[in-house]
C-alpha cells in the first residue's frame, strides 16, 4: 500500500514539475510595461503563462506606468480600468479570485498605488464589474489582501512613537 501511495505521489510530482517547466511566462521588460500602459490591450500578451501571483505583479507594474503618464484623472481611471478588465478577461478559468487577492497584495505593498485612493477605488470597482456574478466576492478578496499588505508594508517610522521613559528628577532617590 505504501509503495502504491509513493508511486502516486511520484507521478503527481513529475506532472507538476512538467507543468511548471512547460510554463511559457517570461517577465516583461520595462519597454513592454510602458507600451501596455499606453495600449492596455497589450497586457494580455504579457500575461501568457503567468501564475496569478506573476500576473498580479505585471498588472501592478502596468498600473504604475499608467499613473506615470500624467493623464487627467478621468483618462487615467479609464486606462487603469481597461488594464484590469483586459487582465481579468485573459485570466485562465477559475483563477480570477486568486488573481484578485494577489493583485490586492501587490497594490497594497506599492506606495505609488496605495497612496492614491482614486486608483485603488478604480481597480476595486473594475474587479467587481469584471467578475460578473462573483465580482463582489472578488472585490472583497482584493480589499482584504490590499488592507493586509498595506498594513504590513507601513514602515515602523509611521507609527506613533512611544512616550519617553521617565527618569528620576534631581533630588529623587
Residue 4 lies in a domain: no
Q: Is residue 119 part of a domain?
A: yes
pLDDT tens-digit series, residues 20-43: 444 689 999 999 999 999 999 999
Q: Is residue 116 part of a domain?
A: yes
Q: Which domain holds residue 117?
A: 25-152
**In the chain, % of residues over pLDDT 90:** 69
pLDDT attached to residue 153: 82
| 165 lies in some domain | no
Query: What are the φ/ψ torsions at residue 38 (nearest 5 degrees)?
Result: -85, -25
The dihedral through the CA atoms of 135, 140, 141, 145 has a sign that is positive
According to the model, what pLDDT value does residue 154 have?
Answer: 72
The predicted model gives 95-102 an average pLDDT of 96
Q: How far apart are CA 104 and CA 100, in angstroms?
A: 6
Q: How many domains does the chain have?
A: 1
The answer as to whether 132 is a domain residue is yes
**Residues 6+ positions from 125 with CB-CB distance below 8 Å:** 81, 139
pTM of the model: 0.76
Amino acid at each position: 500500500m505504501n509503495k502504491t501511495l509513493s508511486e502516486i505521489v511520484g507521478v503527481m510530482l513529475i506532472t507538476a514539475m512538467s507543468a511548471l517547466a512547460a510554463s511559457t511566462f517570461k517577465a516583461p521588460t520595462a519597454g513592454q510595461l510602458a507600451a501596455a500602459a499606453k495600449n492596455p490591450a497589450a497586457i494580455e500578451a504579457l500575461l501568457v503563462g503567468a501564475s496569478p501571483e506573476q500576473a498580479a505583479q505585471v498588472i501592478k507594474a502596468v498600473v504604475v506606468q499608467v499613473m506615470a503618464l500624467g493623464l487627467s484623472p478621468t483618462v487615467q481611471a479609464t486606462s487603469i480600468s481597461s488594464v484590469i478588465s483586459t487582465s481579468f478577461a485573459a485570466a485562465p478559468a477559475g483563477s480570477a479570485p486568486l488573481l484578485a487577492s494577489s493583485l490586492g497584495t501587490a497594490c497594497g505593498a506599492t506606495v505609488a498605488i496605495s497612496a492614491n485612493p482614486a486608483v485603488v477605488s478604480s481597480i476595486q470597482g473594475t474587479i467587481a464589474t469584471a467578475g460578473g456574478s462573483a465580482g463582489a466576492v472578488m472585490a472583497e478578496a482584493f480589499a482584504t489582501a490590499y488592507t493586509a499588505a498595506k498594513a504590513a508594508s507601513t514602515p515602523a517610522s509611521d507609527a506613533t512613537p512611544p512616550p519617553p521613559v521617565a527618569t528620576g528628577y534631581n533630588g529623587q532617590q
